[in-house]
Amino acid sequence: MATIITQDGAEIYFKDWGPRDAQPIMFHHGWPLSSDDWDTQMLFFLKHGYRVVAHDRRGHGRSAQVSVGHDMDHYAADAAAVVAHLDLRNAIHIGHSTGGGEATRYVARYGEPQGRVAKAVLVSAVPPLMLKTAANPEGQPIEVFDGFRQALANNRAGFFLDVPSGPFYGFNRDGAQVQQGVVRNWWRQAMMGSALAHYEGIKAFSETDQTEDLKSIGVPTLVLHGEDDQIVPIVAAAPKSIKLLRKGTLKTYPGYGHGMLTINADVLNADVLAFVRA
């Protein structure tokens, strides 16, 4: 397997497909999944002539199940380590959900300061802040995330069936046709990872305030969000991010849920390709 070792000793698995002289697109996956969640997009953009890269976050997928570093700072640093190892330049960084938070912090802290980033895409992303606070009344109360933690600790395998079978892809909506292959693939990816990384990752994606990250990003950034997202409700996410970004473009999708990259890949891929090419 292709791996690197970070400064604090975590082994990070990555995929690197396509011509080395092509413009790179790096994908950042959501919680509690792996780089495999980007297979459809990686094949699509590879076919269109791009170099495509994705890694498994520490504690997820095939990366090491380390006991420390399950926070947005380490996520971004690990991404930066992969970028440096592959010497990616003029790259587009695309993040989904928690991966959107990772991509945001990476671009703000490493990518732009090092001159390595051309554009960014945030899809169903957690920034600026998911948690409900006095300054963020549209967020979700801490009890929601405590419930995630309890469900994971009590029966991770069952919880990781319930999430994709229901709210993640919108399969709990009236008239929805449950795609069992999609559910099983979500479960497969999730169960490959570390229970500790997943448990501590809930705090990372829900309580990390990325307001300043978004303010500092100057590259063109496309923000995509489903209007029926039950995991990262749009009201506390995309519209707020757009107000903070200096060169942000917002596109929303009526009826689409959190997992729209999989369920509606034909639409999303075309929209991202148009932005990348523009």
**DSSP letter string over 243-278?**
HH-SSEEEEEETT--TTHHHHTHHHHHHHHHHHHH-
Instruction: Tell me the two tokens of residue 23.
Output: 């413009």
Is 206 one of the catalytic residues?
Answer: no
Phi (first) and psi of residue 259, to 5 degrees: -90, 35
Cβ count near 277 (within 10 Å): 7
Is 78 one of the catalytic residues?
Answer: no
Token match 């899809």: residue? 123
Q: What is the pLDDT of residue 123?
A: 98
Q: What is the pLDDT of residue 70?
A: 98
Give which of 55, 70, 32, 67 is closest to 192, Cα–Cα: 32
User: Which residue ranges form the domains of the chain, and what is each CATH number?
Assistant: 3-277 (3.40.50.1820)
Q: What is the pLDDT of residue 1?
A: 74
**Active-site entry in 34, 35, 63, 97:** 97
- The span from the first CA to the last CA of the chain, in angstroms, equals 34
- Given CA atoms 2, 95, 76, 81 in this order, what sign does their dihedral have? positive
How far is residue 100 from each of residues 72, 105, 125, 150, 205, measured CA to CA in Å? 10, 9, 5, 24, 10
Distance of CA 37 to the CA centre of its chain: 10
Token match 């009890």: residue? 143
Give the whole-angstrom CA distance, residue 104 versus residue 252: 19
Q: In tens digits, what is the pLDDT along the chain, a chain of 278 residues?
A: 799 999 999 999 999 999 999 999 999 999 999 999 999 999 999 999 999 999 999 999 999 999 999 999 999 999 999 999 999 999 999 999 999 999 999 999 999 999 999 999 999 999 999 999 999 999 999 999 999 999 999 999 999 999 999 999 999 999 999 999 999 999 999 999 999 999 999 999 999 999 999 999 999 999 999 999 999 999 999 999 999 999 999 999 999 999 999 999 999 999 999 999 99
**Active-site entry in 165, 198, 229, 241:** 229
| Cis ω for the linkage preceding 32 (within 30 of 0) | yes
Q: What is the pLDDT of residue 143?
A: 98
Q: What is the pLDDT of residue 10?
A: 98
Q: What is the pLDDT of residue 177?
A: 94
Q: What DSSP character marks residue 209?
A: -
Q: What angle do CA 25, 27, 31 make, to 5 degrees?
A: 175
Is 258 one of the catalytic residues?
Answer: yes
Question: Residue 44 in 3-state DSSP?
Answer: helix
Instruction: Tell me the two tokens of residue 251.
Output: 């596109």
Helices (H), the chain: 39-47, 72-86, 98-106, 142-165, 180-192, 195-207, 211-216, 238-244, 260-263, 265-277
Q: What is the pLDDT of residue 268?
A: 98
Q: What is the pLDDT of residue 212?
A: 98
